[in-house]
Structure 1
């Protein structure tokens, strides 16, 4: 009897630690380097433990919702892959315990919101297809979950929130039985989108707040007879239904990365950033930019192809916006400035105009 109890306890301990976090992000199949460190681009928690209280503020970006050191530069329309792991990002890692079946989702929100308020828009989801769970597909794909950024998404800085819901103990709500309940794994990745269009994010949902104990996808008996599963949260955004802003110029500034190969992180504290110059850019070609690291102002060799994305911290100029409509105000999360912008620049009460890049400024909560 004692031996059986030891085995049961060991098995329970194994399952309890078979969790997962995001280690890497890939852009158009180019690895952006390990991002879950103090010098990375992921707002990573100190461990891989799940969140179970769906009313907790930790549901937003986990327990460490603090700005990371770096941001990944991407283009609208890029393929993004979030790479999840259990212990490390080696090929031998088991990703997450195979018993932790459930859905995998991706949300997006303006970075300036810090994830607070009704700002989260669902970009992708995968649940149960009648024979296989999304987590099983994730394990088979070596931890990678892919999605595509909308091709007309407005240039801005965003938070990408990857999420896994493990349902192996979800037969009871955590609020009813703290020893049970669905397990939520999430983190936020910092990205900066360029080369996009005029499509702004629509009204979103609040996290916490998007899920309830009455949702059939939150309380779910994985071991009972079932033929389908309803993924909790809002519907996936189609990428086109939202308010619009004037389309930015068709050229975007090249961001020289001093002494840095594509796909690797840059130290924003030690690398000089050249003043942006209008150069047509993209991020989908093997053509690699050549940069100079021994001069105060890096220079970039012209490249006719499209280049893999890299990470950088970019100094942004002051808001430029002229001929603003007299007396008009801009609603929360509306555009309030930028190059060639002709609309009003005064934000509605309770919000302030924040500059993100030379072509786009947005009203955010004060």
Structure 2
């Protein structure tokens, strides 16, 4: 049996777990929260598009506007986070090798016609772009060009070539696999660059293109050229590309220079009221967040103190620290009360939760968690009923879930959102799944 045949069989077996989606976005290193169905026009699943003549090749099979549009300025760094099912998984099967590219088009076009302009592309250097994507936890970063103010669709794309030796129109069981979503942005800076004419995927991505029909097992990989033509001249030079999430505040002007120090941040997510955002120190490293008191004086919505839950299996417990003498928070720096609706997660328990004694404020400040960042891939622990994690209340078995007093919403399907800051939908998952807290902004039925 030829090696290529054997490798193809293995690649086909990997297909069941190897697909990929775009799940969230960072702007200048700041997470914008879960984007599925909010600012990302995501398909119902992570299956690829293989029919090159289909209009689905532009923004996938559910190309409909979503409620939110992210605001950016010229020079901002947009980081797309891609993964298989969640930010902590295998990103994409290693057998699914191929290029990674990013295009942009006017939102008004809805992705139809010769409107797509390429601003990033990486194929094979000493390794495939997908290998770099796996090594960097699924992160691709591009710099916003000096575009005229308008609304735009940014389209990250991964091409899997493991079955691309035969075109799909000749063998429907094979062919290149395309993974893409369209993300809604609005450029609010006063740029002067209008998008030039671009490509139409329906007519430009063809079964005659050697970038889309390629034998990765017997071909000369160093000669591979991704489809879609060269990167446009409007693209910013020295973009971060495939790599770690840039440090907060690392945006650049389209010329490549650092932005003025008085330039405001382009976009910030809703902060968790229980933990202040960390800021970069003078060296660019992420500094620790300032400590906060265990409760807010005068508030009546602070749950009782609870024992810290055990660490997630596979992660060590943090080192023990001596308990400091409790002190009152400084009177001159009162913390604001939370204004956003708390998410509740219903936990069923056969026994009532323990009632531990109050403990003094923690000696180590809480940190924001970006689950997909290297070195911080630790799921958010769930506290006992009646307690809170990052100011997200964990309901007891008798709670209604939404707390609204209305009829309960239908259960949430597997892989869809079931909670998070500002989330107002159902928190009950379909049978066989439970609501998993990934971070304060996003919980998912798994």
Shorter-chain TM-score category?
Answer: 0.5 to 0.7
Asked which structure has the greater CA Rg, the reply is 2
TM-score normalised by structure 2 residue count: 0.51
**TM superposition shift of 1:62:** 0.2
1:143 equivalent in structure 2:
138
TM-score normalised by structure 1 residue count: 0.62
| Cα pair distance change 1:293/1:199, threshold 3 Å | farther
Separation (CA, whole Å) in 2 of partners of 1:208 and 1:222: 24
The residue correspondences of 1:220-239 to structure 2 (distance < 5 A) are 220-226=214-220, 227-239=222-234
Aligned-partner SS, 1:16: coil
1:113 equivalent in structure 2:
109
Provide the aligned length of Structure 1 versus Structure 2. 247
| Cα pair distance change 1:34/1:234, threshold 3 Å | same
Gaps of 5+ in 1: 1-7, 242-253, 266-285, 295-366
**TM superposition shift of 1:291:** 11
Separation (CA, whole Å) in 1 of partners of 2:113 and 2:26: 28
Which residue of the other structure, out of 80, 99, 102, is the alignment partner of 1:103? Answer: 99
Question: What's the CA shift string for 1:287-338, capped at 9, x where partnerless?
Answer: xxx99998xxxxxxxxxxxxxxxxxxxxxxxxxxxxxxxxxxxxxxxxxxxx
Verify the 8 A CA contact 2:99 2:158 in the aligned structure 1.
Answer: yes
Separation (CA, whole Å) in 2 of partners of 1:95 and 1:79: 21
Verify the 8 A CA contact 1:73 1:191 in the aligned structure 2.
Answer: yes
Verify the 8 A CA contact 1:105 1:126 in the aligned structure 2.
Answer: yes
**TM superposition shift of 1:13:** 4.4
**TM superposition shift of 1:21:** 0.1
| Cα pair distance change 1:223/1:237, threshold 3 Å | same
Separation (CA, whole Å) in 2 of partners of 1:62 and 1:184: 9
Verify the 8 A CA contact 1:43 1:68 in the aligned structure 2.
Answer: yes
1:176 equivalent in structure 2:
170
Q: Which has the higher strand share?
A: 1
Matched, 1:153 2:147: yes
1:85 equivalent in structure 2:
83
Verify the 8 A CA contact 2:11 2:162 in the aligned structure 1.
Answer: no
Gaps of 5+ in 2: 1-7, 237-263, 272-286, 288-334, 340-446
| Cα pair distance change 1:240/1:58, threshold 3 Å | closer
Separation (CA, whole Å) in 1 of partners of 2:21 and 2:32: 16
**TM superposition shift of 1:17:** 3.2
Aligned-partner SS, 2:108: helix
Separation (CA, whole Å) in 2 of partners of 1:106 and 1:10: 29
Which residue of the other structure, out of 268, 289, 294, is the alignment partner of 1:262? Answer: 268
2:250 equivalent in structure 1:
none
Aligned-partner SS, 2:204: coil
Verify the 8 A CA contact 1:199 1:240 in the aligned structure 2.
Answer: no
| Cα pair distance change 1:14/1:225, threshold 3 Å | closer
Separation (CA, whole Å) in 1 of partners of 2:97 and 2:10: 20
Verify the 8 A CA contact 1:210 1:234 in the aligned structure 2.
Answer: no
Aligned-partner SS, 1:159: strand
Aligned-partner SS, 2:231: coil
Verify the 8 A CA contact 2:119 2:235 in the aligned structure 1.
Answer: no
Verify the 8 A CA contact 2:55 2:112 in the aligned structure 1.
Answer: no
The residue correspondences of 1:200-279 to structure 2 (distance < 5 A) are 200-226=194-220, 227-239=222-234, 262-264=268-270
Separation (CA, whole Å) in 1 of partners of 2:94 and 2:235: 36
Separation (CA, whole Å) in 2 of partners of 1:32 and 1:17: 26
Aligned-partner SS, 1:209: helix
